[in-house]
Structure 1
Amino acid sequence: MDFESIQSAFTPTPDQTSCFSKGGMVSSAFPAASKAGALMLKKGGNAADAACATALALSVGEPQASGLGGQSMVLLHLNGQTLALDGSGPIPALAKPDKFGPNDTKVGYRATTVPTTPAVLAFMHKKYGKLTLEQVISPAIELAKEGYTITPLQSFLQKRELENFFLPENPSAARYFLKNGNTPYEPGEIFCQPHLAGLLEHLAQNGLESFYQGEIAQAIDRDMRQNKGFLRAEDLAETPWPKIRKPVTGSFRGIELVSTPPPTSGRILLFILKLLEAMPPEFHLPLTEKSMAYFCEVMRKGLMEREEHPYWPDQYDQEKDPVLSSPELPQKISRWILSRKTPDMSFSEPGWQGGETTHLSVMDNEGNAVGLTQSVNLVYASKTACEGLGFLYNNYLLDTQDHTPGHPNYRAPGGMAWSSVAATMAMVEGKPWLVTGSPGSERIISALARFFLYLADGGLSIARAQAQPRIHCATNRTVSLEAGGFKDELVQGLAHQGYTLDQRRPRSFYLGAVHTVLRQLDGKGFQGAAEFRRDGIAAGPDQV
């Protein structure tokens, strides 16, 4: 990987989707959230402080993607150590397998797992932060009180999801997130959240962990009982701190990579990169019909590996994981793919194709870095919100299964949803050179794989690598790609080989949204790139 070429190709832009700063950097999907994190760096906070402030502001300014009712996964490099925080949300004790109706896991009060985002942020701030909680949470409170301008993307999503807002018997999310409880906001209109501001003020005074006890837990319990949901105060009281886990490690084109372990999909990203590395660089760029088909088959192999070999997180050992520990396996699979005249026609049902998430990346000038991915699952989640508190309940029970008892993602009390999260750091001499990640359900993995391909084989800047057209292949050979992003003959070549085409609009947020921060190896500053398919910016202490 040509570090100098990648770094020198970077150019800041007036809209701050590409940004340079000397004292650290934050990249996220909402401008006020990036500025909240950058402000923490300016106040003397570290990457953990900045990540918490950014995540809390995203919970206000990007409610379609994340919030206090969701879950968070984190990859951290702090004080010379790299670790992962597993914020998997437990399935409530009352959510027995035989208690669900046909639509209960998608919309409504029964769809939620125990929220973990407040616990994850509380743990990270208490253990690693430097600033006070009041400082870290203040930008989110102000944003909820004063409001923000609805973006074209948010207006589009509200219109797209309008019917779904009214599927639950109690359309509580519609009351909180639609204008007058029934109409999508138009771009440019101001959206305020006074109830959420009140909740955030309570958390600022009593600690983020107070979400799980006392009057907050009782309010959630009461709301759930009234609406036939499963979540109870007892579930909240038993919510543990996030588990500290050992990240998975690998390499691509000679650079060391660190990513999030099970229950997330960092191991699948590293496996896919191993398969791609088994081919020479010139095979991938410029794109050819053969290289696109190869990428599609590599994606299918990775996703099928995840489905066929799930791991209980507490029992996972990378040294015993053949897809990461065997040097011969990637070469063997690559040769097999290339030997096929047509794609592997074995059929597999695709994993869930929805999913809405957000990712933020942070670096400070002390050598620390954080990649944090948080989500409420679907766009506007379960379409239900807690009365009086103003946050959305997640619908992570959708990402569980009900046919294999003993499976890590079996829908039963204490179980967990599967996760496609794959926050990743590239390391140079044991220090983070860049931190990146993406939302997008299983498209997270394809978006990040393409990003690293364009960095390593194209020598592109982080911003240009993120901007390249996206392609994803599900296990059933459905290829999703951005319309107009690829030559017609390449697209038609995939169709002729038996793939089903799913052409998405240009700049489609469906295919992921990569947010990256890079530390220049000359020590002169940081580069940040926010995904132009979303609404965010990159910002450092120089910009606030």
Structure 2
Amino acid sequence: MVVSRIKYSIIPILFHVITSCNNHNNTFLGAVTSATPEASTAGEEIFLKDGNAIDVAIAISFALAVTEPAMSGLGGGTQVLLSLKNQQPIAINGTTLSPYKTPISIKDTLTYHRRSTIPSTVKVLDYLWKNYGSGNVSWEDLLKPSIELAENGFVLGEYRAKVYHEYGEKLKSSQFSVSSFLIDNRIPQKGDTIKQPELAKTLKRLAEFRAEDFYNGEIAKKIALDMQEHGGWITIDDLNNFPAPKELKPLSVEHRGMMVYSQPPPCGGWITLLALNLMEKLNKDAVLTNEEVIKALYIAHNERNKKPVNNLTTYDSILKNKLSKSYSKKLLLNEQSPSETIVNKKIGETTHFSVVDSEGNSIAVTSSINAYFGALAASKDLGFLYNTYMDDFIFEDPDHPFAIRPNAMAYSSMSPSIVQENGKTVLVLGSPGSSRIISAVSQITAKWIEGRDIQHAVTQPRIHVSNNTVYHENKEDTLSLSKEFLTEFDLLLKTPSESLMLQEKLNAYYGGVHAIAKENGNWIGIADPRRDGKSIIVKKSNSNE
């Protein structure tokens, strides 16, 4: 990694009003919002080359792999919810898979290369381009922004610098080719310009040979060799035989007259939608109270822990019941104590971005290497970090439905979501943050439908519930909870670490929601101020001057 010290001058832009009709001499092309300014700018470039929302999403994903390496990358997995021309969304299951050589009986002691499942991101992006791209932008052009960012560098923003400060020592402790993420064994700081020449070479090869090379060509061979040399389980056969992503019917519920769609298993969309149903049942007035949000999240998260969807491929009848209004009523009448077993026990991180275009296409993408800086291991020749999705299986219990085993999908909290009103998309959103994804997406969806103000919904303090523990982003909100309410559910109040806070009362622990909403006939894009993100209005000038 090459570095130069400059003054950091990029200021995250929280939101933009985006008009979907002609405005003077400008024509609306689309809206993008993602976790880094550089990735959003990459998306803007593709819109200006006549790309559609899907083309833009591909360019953003590759750019995030360069500019937010702690969260996502070529070694991770990607989940997509896509609506074409305001039609009912399509869920694209881009799950990763455990390697064929994965042992059945093993303790939870995996480190480095053995923590990685077979990456899906590159295959998902290739699938999107081949099946849903506009045809106006070449694959090479979609990778060009990310290649330039890797070669020429990007300026490390405040939130990403905080992540380095918090987790950089773990990187330094690794002996597995992570030097490209450090600077002369020093942890990068805010304002550093980071260049990644090894990753640039890999991206150039992908630009020339596409995803085929990642799974069947030279890149695949280098991954397999690196795994073999360092005790990893991924083999060349795993990469050669990795399947194309599957298209699935999304899950959906009606909430206050709108249809809310989210990602089916192995993702967490059903818990997000269950929480929405519960909020609707609980709400007695026009505005959701904190107690109503807490109660809904408490019940939804504990339903997941005590009665998870055990079959990640055959779940239609189970979820039809769980997402019915009558089931939510039943849960409220039969409140249960919290579960002692939490399925998704690891603390993870992720990235999410949203895109809409002038043709009515919208796409919500959640991508991850699971833990901060993933497996803390990379190939010295390829420049990207492996993921840690092996951590999300259940160990030492081979009869458990989520037991570690070969060729299996890991249970996930990812919940990319799309809301439609009268058959047209009005909200696109998602978040990083492990189980906090569910809490963030359900709250913001409910509060946006309630007030039609996405800026307020995203920037106001959030709540997360885990087991019987309540985490308030704004400590003052805990004072409003009655002792009777806390006693009824035996709730404990806790405050998470504030090490990643960018500003008072807004903590990245509670997610990083990047959303686009239709309000009063205009599109509004917002980048969560808890991160380094940016939303961009993309317009084409029609002026002849």
Provide the TM-score with structure 2 as the length reference. 0.88
Read off the aligned partner of 2:159 and give its amino acid letter: L
Secondary structure of 1:282's aligned partner: coil
**1:480-530: CA deviations, max 9, x gaps?**
2224452534398876663222213332111111111124563xx422011
2:82 corresponds to which residue?
A: 76
2:409 equivalent to 1:409? no
How many Å separate the matches in 2 of 1:208 and 1:493? 57
Paired residue for 1:92?
A: 99
Aligned to 1:123: 127
The equivalent of 1:152 in structure 2 is 158
Q: Are residues 1:354 and 2:347 paired?
A: yes
- 1:239 paired residue among 239, 242, 250: 242
Q: In structure 1, what residue type is equivalent to 2:270?
A: R
For residues 443-484 of structure 1, the C-alpha deviation after alignment (integer angstroms, 9 at most, x for no partner) is 011111211232233x15111100111111112x12222244
Cα shift at 1:311: 3.9
Equivalences for residues 192-203 of structure 1 within 5 A? 192-203=195-206
Q: Is the 8 A contact 2:472 2:478 kept in 1?
A: no
1:425-460 alpha-carbon deviations (Å, 9 max, x no partner): 111222211111111111011111211232233x15
- Between stretches 253-262 and 504-513, larger displacement belongs to 504-513
User: Percent identical across equivalent pairs?
Assistant: 33
Of 177, 180, 183, the match for 1:172 = 177
Which letter maps to 1:513? G
In structure 2, the residue matched to 1:381 is 374
2:301, 2:465 within 8 Å by CA — same for their partners in 1?
no
Residue 17 of structure 1 and its aligned partner are, at CA, apart by: 1.5
Give the partner amino acid of 1:530. A
Q: Structure 1 residues 248, 346: CA separation in 2 closer, same or farther (over 3 Å shift)?
A: closer
* TM-score in terms of structure 1 length: 0.88
Q: Which runs of 5+ in 1 are unaligned?
A: 1-13, 338-343
Q: Which letter maps to 2:491?
A: Y
Secondary structure class of the residue paired with 2:433: coil
Please name the residue that 1:444 is paired with.
437
Instruction: Give the alignment partner of residue 64 of structure 2, picking from 46, 58, 64.
Output: 58
1-structure distance, mates of 2:12, 2:231: 46
Question: Match of 1:88, as an amino acid?
Answer: T
Q: Contact conserved, 1:24 with 1:526, CA < 8 A, in 2?
A: no
Cα distance, 1:409 vs. partner?
2.6
Distance between the aligned counterparts of 2:536 and 2:507, measured in 1?
23
In the alignment, structure 1 residue 313 sits paired with structure 2 residue 312: yes
Which residue number corresponds to residue 463 of structure 2? 471
The structure-2 alpha-carbon separation of the partners of 1:347 and 1:310, relative to structure 1 and needing over 3 Å to count, comes to: closer
User: Aligned-pair RMSD on alpha carbons?
Assistant: 2.2
Q: Is the 8 A contact 1:23 1:526 kept in 2?
A: no
**One-letter code aligned to 1:178:** L
Number of the residue aligned with 1:323: 322
Across the two proteins, how many residue pairs are aligned to each other? 509
Farther-moved stretch of structure 1 (76-85 vs 115-124): 76-85
Query: Secondary structure of the residue that 1:299 maps to in structure 2?
Result: helix
Stretch deviating more after TM superposition (345-354 or 259-268): 345-354
The C-alpha deviation readout for 1:295-320, integer Å capped at 9, x for no partner, is 33322322233232324333121576
- Using the alignment, how far apart are the partners of 1:65 and 1:485 within structure 2? 30
Report the Cα distance in structure 1 between the residues aligned to 2:421 and 2:464, rounded to whole angstroms.
Answer: 29
Query: Who is 1:5 aligned against?
Result: none
In structure 2, the gaps of 5 or more residues are 1-10, 19-27, 499-504
- Return the match for 1:254 from 254, 257, 271: 257
> Map of 1:478-497 to 2, 5 A cutoff?
478-484=469-475, 486=477, 488-490=479-481
Q: Report the counterpart of residue 187 of structure 1 in structure 2.
A: 190
* 8 Å CA contact retained: 1:248, 1:318: no
Residue number in structure 1 paired with 2:294: 296
Please report how far the alpha carbon of residue 332 of structure 1 lies from its aligned counterpart in structure 2 after TM superposition: 2.7
Change (3 A) 1:45 1:474: same
Match of 2:140 among 131, 134, 140: 134
